[in-house]
Homo-oligomer: A and B are copies of this chain.
């Protein structure tokens, strides 16, 4: 019977994540010391490293929660997209962007992105890449849906288009989190302006 041990394990995982999330929010990523997280979670430093490979992985677990929520919210748009290509893209991208700062501060995003490129083979690095792929996939699914409805030309290379849109959005988001004074509406407007070129190329 794998009762107690598994339960304690899950419990410790949860306590560590909750403690870290709180301290990251309060003190920032760098400001949240591992010792403090350990104390708050009522485990030892060694135990944290038994659960996570490094500090970045703890942040990674939090980021994954966030992105999965966003992916979930995006499903609705893919299922029933606005009847206009530009609006459909804008709505989906809007969901991504508007959710993005719900749990994670810009500083946390910066750290998460940095770690994912710095250590692409760490657990979090791989998870982050998978999340990016899932987002790209969702955009591609939206395009396929629009093609089926007949709003987008059939001869468009959906895969390449999805990547193009995601890559541009993602890069814009990276620049957005790098500047504390950057605002969401401006980010969305800039992306809309860029996508306008694409939309013109793909509408029936």
Q: A residues bordering B, Cβ < 8 Å?
A: 110-111, 113-115, 117-118, 120, 125, 129, 156-157, 160-161, 163-164, 167-168, 170-172, 174-175, 177-179, 190, 193-194, 196-198, 200-202
Q: How far is the CA of A129 from the CA of B157 in the complex (A)?
A: 31
Residue of B whose beta carbon sits closest to that of A178: B120
Among A117, A156, A160, A177, the most chain B Cβ lie within 10 Å of the Cβ of A117
If A117-B174, A167-B167, A171-B170 touch, whether A197 touches B193 (CB-CB below 8 Å) is no
If A167-B172, A168-B167, A178-B129 touch, whether A157 touches B120 (CB-CB below 8 Å) is no
Chain B proximity of A18: nearest CB distance (Å): 24
Partner of A194, one of B110, B163, B190: B163
Contacts A114-B117, A163-B190, A164-B198 given; 9 further ones with Cβ under 8 A? A111-B118, A113-B114, A120-B178, A157-B196, A161-B194, A168-B171, A170-B171, A171-B171, A197-B202
User: Which residues on the B side are within 8 Å of A117 (C-beta)?
Assistant: 110, 113-114, 117, 174, 177-178
If A117-B113, A118-B111 touch, whether A167 touches B171 (CB-CB below 8 Å) is yes
Chain B proximity of A125: nearest CB distance (Å): 8
User: Which residues on the B side are within 8 Å of A172 (C-beta)?
Assistant: 163, 167
Q: What is the predominant secondary structure among interface residues of chain A facing chain B?
A: helix
User: Which residues on the B side are within 8 Å of A194 (C-beta)?
Assistant: 160-161, 163-164, 167
Q: How far is the CA of A114 from the CA of B114 in the complex (A)?
A: 4
Partner of A197, one of B164, B167, B174: B164
Chain B proximity of A153: nearest CB distance (Å): 10
Q: How far is the CA of A113 from the CA of B163 in the complex (A)?
A: 20
User: Which residues on the B side are within 8 Å of A170 (C-beta)?
Assistant: 167, 171
Chain B proximity of A170: nearest CB distance (Å): 6
User: Which residues on the B side are within 8 Å of A177 (C-beta)?
Assistant: 117
